[in-house]
Structures are given as structure tokens and as C-alpha cells.
Amino acid sequence: MSKETSSPFWRGARDGAPFVLVIAPFGMLFGVVATEAGMDLAQTMSMTVLVIAGAAQFAAVSQMIDNAPIFMVLLTSLAVNLRMAMYSATMVPHLGKASLWKRALVAYFLVDQSAVLASETFEKNPERSVAWKVAYILGIMLPVTPFWYGGTLFGAVVGGRLPESFALDFAMPITFLAMIAPMVKTLPHLAAALTSITLALLLNGFPYGTGLILAAFAALAVGALTEWKLEGNKA
């Protein structure tokens, strides 16, 4: 590793290290839920490694538990993961000129934690090279990835034998609150957040998680419309 990439890589690892406190129990919780839903160890670990998106994995498993049709499982997972498309769009100005294999590698590791930290860091350091930025993202995932895989493996092996006092379910809301709250900086962000929260609560009783899907699409529409209105007023 060259000096140009070594420094941002370890900086990213340092910045990503605090996420381990919630990623490990988050992974353990998924491992427990997946096995209780009837998935074996190979299926659970394959899903974690291939999907590497906790919220979508939980959504898919909960749909499976409810015996939802396969198209609903896929649609719900897609709706939950729509934010990945927005993450990718924010990375294009910074990493669009990277080679194909580097972009593919970053795409795999572009999860909530790496996207949030990278976006904030790149905005503060727009002059950094593409190699610097790629190394920084990969550094973020150095501590995060093993604990996500390892936590899932531990939860899947131990299963329901974990005592309820562990309260692993705290990990998911804390993780997303810690990441999303600092990102709500503008009126469109706030409008989208409030819309998603309100509709997710109001439509909670809809079958097969369709309320979550509707809330996600409505939040995207409200955020985009609010930004369009603001741009129009400025013009």
C-alpha cells in the first residue's frame, strides 16, 4: 500500500471503529432472528455476506416469517434499500473516474456507515484524489465488516440461547439514529424524514409490510418535491 493510500485507509479505519459498538449486536440480532425464522447457518451467512445490508435483511426475513409472496419480499427489500441508490449518486462526483474494479469494490462496501462518513469527509476534502477517497471508504469498512459477519455468525450459532437481558434489539434504531440525525440538514431532508416516520407509523398495520414501502416512496417524493420548490423560488 502506497503512502498516498495508507494514510486515508487508516484514517477511515479510525473513523469507522466506533460503529463496532452497534454493528456487532446488530449482526448478532440478525443471526438470531434468521435462525428462528428457519434459515440454516449456510443460508444466514450467505445472505449476510451477499446482501450486506442489515435493514433489508431484517425486512426480508420478517416477510418470510409472515409467509409473504416472494415478489413482496423482493419489493420490500428494494424499498428499504432505495437509499443505496442515493448513496451511489452522492459518490459519483468523487469516485466516478475510478477504475471499474474499484467502483465495484466500493459498491459492495457502500453501506450506511461508509456512505455517511465518506460523504461528510469528501465534502470537506473535495480536492483529494480518487485513490485517496477509495482508500478511505475501504478503511471505514475494515473494522465494520468483520464484526458484521462475526456478529451474525455468533447469533446464528447461539440462536435463541441468548438471554433476553442482552436486549440486542437496541442496536438497529440506535445505529440509524446516529447516522441519519446529523444528515438532516436541509428542509427537503427534514420533510422526507418526517414523511417517512409519520406514514410508517400510520400504515404499520398494512399487510406484508406494504406500509413501509408506501412510506419510503412517499418520503422520496416529498423530499424531491420540496427541493424542486425551493430551487424554483430561488430562480
Residue 30 contacts residue 57 (beta carbons within 8 Å): yes
| Helix, strand or coil, per DSSP, at residue 226 | helix
Is the backbone of residue 40 left (phi > 0), alpha (psi -120 to 50) or beta?
A: beta
Asked whether the predicted pLDDT for residue 123 surpasses 60, the reply is yes
The rounded radius of gyration (Å) of the Cα atoms in the chain is 19
Cβ atoms < 10 Å from Cβ of 67: 7
Q: In this structure, which amino acid lies at residue 110? A: L
Residue 143 has a pLDDT of 94
Between vectors from CA 64 to CA 31 and to CA 216, what angle results, nearest 5°?
95
Gap between the Cα atoms of 90 and 119, Å rounded: 7
Three-state secondary structure string covering 23-72: HHHHHHHHHHHHHHCCCCHHHHHHHHHHHCCHHHHHHHHHHHHCCCCHHH
Q: What percent of the chain has pLDDT over 90?
A: 32
Within 8 A by CB and 6+ apart from 105, the residues are 134, 138
Q: What is the per-residue pLDDT across 83-119, written as a single tens digit (0 to 9) for each?
A: 788 889 889 999 999 999 999 999 999 998 899 899 9
Give the pLDDT band (50/70/90) at residue 8. Answer: very high
The percentage of residues in the chain with a pLDDT greater than 70, rounded to a whole number, is: 86
Residue 11: what pLDDT?
Answer: 95
Q: Is residue 235 classed as helix, strand or coil in its secondary structure?
A: coil
Indicate the average pLDDT of the chain.
84
- CA dist., res. 140 & res. 87, Å (int): 15
